[in-house]
């Protein structure tokens, strides 16, 4: 029997925005000027990179000097430990109590992201320091609790997930599990017993990250040797499980700390690369852009309530969803170089961080779900099944027409098949995500419309009674906010619909390519495999929708249970009394959820 859980208590999520300025490297010292100043551990001043400007220009404000204020700012003299103490340090204790936390380093290539996250043996970074603290705290609590610490290290490159703990990892898939949240199927998870081992592991993992040489920015165009650019986002996930010792009915708390070393934030358009690399750039931007959009939406949510957070728009945001929303804490460390020739990148990074700052707190909204979705999903499954059976029939018909020639250009055919199968997978996955996002949006707007209706009634009531004017103003103001939300969500929904249309076109094009190949009588074996791929793709989509239905049902049940808890608690019984009554009835209830 599944145990009944009390609702998780809602806690404000906080985003802490820190900026870290790195010193000039010894090479840079001869040719670059330091243009950053950190004041009062909070303010970052960027001086005009053009030092030749006249005094008059400067006082008349024709200077490019800029000033930003953050939660905390670190100057070039600060060590990783200094950054750690003020940012992640205070969150570790919560992770041991089952809370989630996310830390990401954002900045241009060469600004110090990897230095901050992984670090060096003499100056270990946030990843290593976090683990050290985890093990330190565990030693203190070992009397009462059993702990298990596991790590995984992955990269998201070109919207594909690879395992950095595996030598030559294949593509990994994201799964949505209603109990564990987002997981990566097949990802290696290793048990760690000391922090010392981890730096070695991180270095090994980092050496496997997808990199490229580029002359993307000013530093390297002046240098004969081009800069190595990390094109991927690396995510270290540390999971701490805590189990109460010597308890008959023990509960396991599971806290998750995600530390993310993002890809360089410079824009793809700034590189001279073409073709495949531009595509890389576009995909990196997809994740970074999606992250920015989520951060913006979370900020909006704080002000307005039900604003849609587009987590589904990229792999990275889907991966980080737990850590960005709900009962979790997030730290963004924006890294900047103090060199004058990096002025452009530095101000771009600071602007991004400045926008992120707006999210101070937000409370997880418990958006109820609507039964209609199950019907929607079911309809899609039905359509898919029709399509699958049609495909099967066509395939059987074509089978007889095909000649069984031996392969001629085997390699060619295989790589073509490879590309096509990859495209089919991507097409299916995209479709599933778009459809789910659209359902979520519609769900949200249903709630908005319900609220709007209630507000309209209340407003009418107030106007009739000519009652409290201030209250009426509040209602009207709230009505405007809800209307704005509906409009924003409708707009986002229209985009998703367009994307779905585009996705559908792509799907037809893929099908056309297969048909064409079949009619031009290319090799039978390959075509059979290819058609199987397509069938698998469809079946995969069907399964995903079935899983979505299951998730929906679980979520609904959870909501019902939560309501029951609220009801019980509002009856005046306290937690212990409820547990006692339940025990008398032989009902098992999990207690002691994390605060």
Instruction: Provide the annotated binding site for ATP.
Output: 107-114
Backbone angles phi and psi of 6, in degrees to 5: -70, 160
Among Mg ion, ligand ADP, none, residue 407 binds (CB under 5-8 Å by kind): none
Shortest spacing between CB 452 and ligand ADP, in angstroms: 46
CB 320 within 8 A of CB 102: yes
Q: Which residue(s) pair with 252 in the sheet?
A: 243
User: In the bound complex, what is the minimum distance in angstroms from residue 79's beta carbon to ligand ADP?
Assistant: 8
Here the tokens at position 53 are 């400007």
- How much is the CA Rg of the chain, to the nearest whole Å? 27
- 259 touches Mg ion by CB under 5 A: no
Residue 329 touches ligand ADP, criterion: CB under 6 A: no
How many C-beta atoms surround the C-beta of residue 432 within 10 A? 22
Binding mask 465-504 for Mg ion (x = CB under 5 A): ----------------------------------------
Provide the 3-class DSSP secondary structure of residue 504.
Answer: helix
**Of 332 and 424, CB closest to Mg ion:** 332
Nearest residue to ligand ADP, by Cβ distance, number only: 112
Q: What b/e string do you get for 340-374 counting C-beta neighbours within 10 Å, with b at 16 or more?
A: bbbbebbbbbbebbbebbebeebeeeeeebbeebb
Interface residue with ligand ADP, options 98, 107, 299, 493 (CB under 6 A): 107
Region near ligand ADP per CB under 6 A, out of 110-118, 292-300, 348-356, 553-561: 110-118
- From 38, 83, 161, 230, residue interacting with Mg ion (rule: CB under 5 A): 230
As measured in angstroms, the least distance from the Cβ of 230 to Mg ion is 4
Quick one: 227 or 356, whose CB is closer to Mg ion?
A: 227
- Segment near Mg ion (CB under 5 A), from 73-81, 145-153, 165-173, 224-232? 224-232
Distance of closest approach, residue 449 Cβ to ligand ADP, in angstroms: 45
Q: Would you count residue 25 as binding ligand ADP (CB under 6 A)?
A: yes
User: Minimum CB separation from Mg ion for residue 332, in Å?
Assistant: 16
Task: Name every residue whose Cβ is closer than 8 Å to that of residue 388 and which is 6 or more positions away in sequence.
Answer: 535, 538, 539, 542
Q: How far is the CB of 317 from ligand ADP (least distance, A)?
A: 21
Contacting residue, 87, 111, 349, 485, with ligand ADP by CB under 6 A: 111
Q: Are strands 100-107 and 252-261 parallel, antiparallel or unpaired?
A: parallel
Q: How far is the CB of 112 from Mg ion (least distance, A)?
A: 8
Q: Is 23 among the residues that bind ligand ADP (CB under 6 A)? A: yes
* 175-178 own/partner pairs: CB under 8 Å, 24+ apart: 176/547, 176/548, 176/551, 178/550, 178/551, 178/554, 178/555
Chain centre distance of CA 86: 23
Q: How far apart are CA 261 and CA 332, in angstroms?
A: 11
Least Å distance, CB 228 to ligand ADP, is 8
Per the CB < 8 A criterion, the answer to whether 134 and 277 are in contact is: no
Residue nearest to Mg ion (CB): 114
Binding span for ligand ADP by CB under 6 A among 57-65, 89-97, 107-115, 473-481: 107-115
* Short-list 481, 431, 31, CA closest to 224: 31
Task: Give me 91's structure tokens.
Answer: 């969150």
Closest approach, Cβ 104 to ligand ADP, in A, equals 12
Token pair in block for residue 461: 């009531």
Interface mask (CB under 6 A) for ligand ADP, residues 238-267, using x and -?
Answer: --------------------------x---
Where are the extended beta strands (E) located within 72-124? 72-74, 100-107, 119-120, 123-124
Is residue 75 within the footprint of ligand ADP (CB under 6 A)? no
Q: CB under 6 A: which stretch of 106-114, 152-160, 191-199, 323-331 binds ligand ADP?
A: 106-114
Residue 23 contact, options Mg ion, ligand ADP, none, Cβ 5-8 Å cut-off depending on partner type: ligand ADP
Contact in structure between 229 and 113 (CB atoms under 8 Å): no
Of 35 and 230, nearer to ligand ADP (C-beta) is: 230
| DSSP H or E run through 5 | none
What is the x/- site pattern for Mg ion, positions 536-575, by CB under 5 A? ----------------------------------------
Stretch that binds Mg ion, among 57-65, 135-143, 154-162, 225-233 (CB under 5 A): 225-233
Query: Choosing among ligand ADP, Mg ion, none, which partner's interface includes residue 537 (Cβ < 5 to 8 Å by kind)?
Result: none
DSSP string of 238-257? EEEEEEETT-SS--EEEEEE
Interatomic CA distance for residues 559 and 7, integer angstroms = 9
CB of residue 125 to ligand ADP, shortest distance in Å:
9
Residue 413 vs residues 36, 404, 409, 510: alpha-carbon distances, Å? 56, 15, 6, 15
The neighbour count for residue 75, using CB atoms within 10 Å, is 18
Q: Footprint of ligand ADP on this chain (CB under 6 A)?
A: 22-23, 25, 107, 109-115, 230, 264, 335
Q: Footprint of Mg ion on this chain (CB under 5 A)?
A: 113-114, 230
């Amino acid at each position: 029997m599944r145990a009944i859980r009390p609702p998780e208590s809602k806690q404000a999520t906080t985003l802490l925005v820190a900026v870290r300025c790195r010193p000039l490297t010894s090479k840079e010292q001869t040719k670059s000027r330091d243009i950053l100043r950190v004041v009062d551990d909070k303010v970052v001043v960027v001086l005009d990179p053009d030092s030749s400007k006249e005094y008059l220009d400067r006082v008349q404000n024709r200077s490019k000097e800029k000033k930003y204020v953050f939660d905390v700012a670190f100057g070039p003299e600060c060590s990783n430990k200094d950054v750690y103490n003020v940012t992640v340090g205070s969150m570790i204790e919560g992770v041991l109590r089952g809370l989630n936390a996310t830390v990401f380093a954002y900045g241009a290539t060469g600004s110090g992201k990897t230095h901050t996250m992984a670090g060096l043996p003499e100056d270990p970074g946030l990843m290593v320091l976090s683990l050290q603290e985890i093990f330190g705290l565990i030693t203190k609590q070992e009397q009462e609790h059993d702990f298990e610490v596991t790590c995984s290290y992955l990269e998201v490159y070109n919207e594909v997930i690879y395992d950095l703990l595996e030598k030559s990892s294949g593509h990994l898939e994201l799964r949505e599990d209603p109990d564990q949240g987002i997981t990566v199927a097949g990802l290696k998870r290793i048990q760690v017993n000391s922090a010392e081992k981890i730096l070695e592991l991180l270095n090994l993992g980092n050496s496997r990250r997808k990199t490229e040489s580029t002359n993307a920015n000013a530093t390297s165009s002046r240098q004969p040797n081009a800069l190595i650019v990390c094109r991927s986002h690396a995510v270290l996930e540390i999971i701490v499980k805590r189990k109460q010792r010597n308890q008959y009915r023990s509960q396991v708390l599971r806290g998750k700390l995600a530390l993310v070393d993002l890809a360089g934030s410079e824009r793809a358009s700034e590189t001279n690369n073409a073709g495949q690399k531009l595509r890389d750039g576009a995909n990196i931007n997809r994740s970074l852009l999606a992250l920015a959009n989520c951060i913006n939406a979370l900020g909006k949510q704080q002000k307005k309530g039900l604003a849609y957070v587009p987590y589904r728009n990229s792999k990275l945001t889907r991966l980080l969803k737990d850590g960005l929303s709900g009962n979790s804490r997030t730290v963004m460390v924006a890294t900047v170089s103090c060199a004058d020739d990096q002025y452009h990148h530095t101000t771009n990074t600071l602007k991004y961080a400045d926008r992120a700052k707006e999210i101070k707190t937000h409370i997880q909204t418990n958006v109820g779900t609507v039964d209609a979705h199950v019907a929607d999903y079911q309809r899609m499954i039905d359509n898919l099944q029709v399509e699958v059976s049609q495909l099967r029939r066509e395939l059987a018909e074509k089978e007889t027409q095909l000649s069984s020639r031996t392969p001629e250009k085997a390699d060619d055919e295989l790589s073509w098949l490879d590309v096509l199968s990859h495209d089919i997978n991507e097409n299916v996955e995209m479709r599933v995500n778009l459809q789910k996002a659209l359902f979520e949006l519609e769900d949200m707007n249903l709630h908005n419309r319900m609220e709007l209706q209630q507000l309209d009634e209340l407003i009418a009531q107030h106007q009739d009674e000519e009652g409290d004017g201030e209250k009426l103003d509040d209602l009207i103001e709230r009505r405007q906010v809800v209307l704005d939300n509906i409009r924003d969500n409708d707009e986002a929904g229209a985009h998703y619909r367009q994307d779905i249309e585009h996705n559908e076109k792509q799907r037809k094009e893929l099908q056309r390519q297969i048909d064409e190949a079949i009619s031009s009588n290319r090799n039978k074996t390959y075509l059979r495999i290819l058609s199987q791929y397509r069938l698998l793709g469809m079946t995969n989509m069907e399964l995903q929708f079935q899983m979505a239905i299951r998730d929906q049902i679980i979520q609904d049940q959870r909501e019902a249970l939560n309501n029951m808890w609220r009801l019980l608690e509002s009856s005046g019984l306290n937690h212990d009394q409820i547990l006692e009554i339940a025990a008398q009835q032989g009902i098992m209830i999990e207690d002691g959820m994390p605060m």
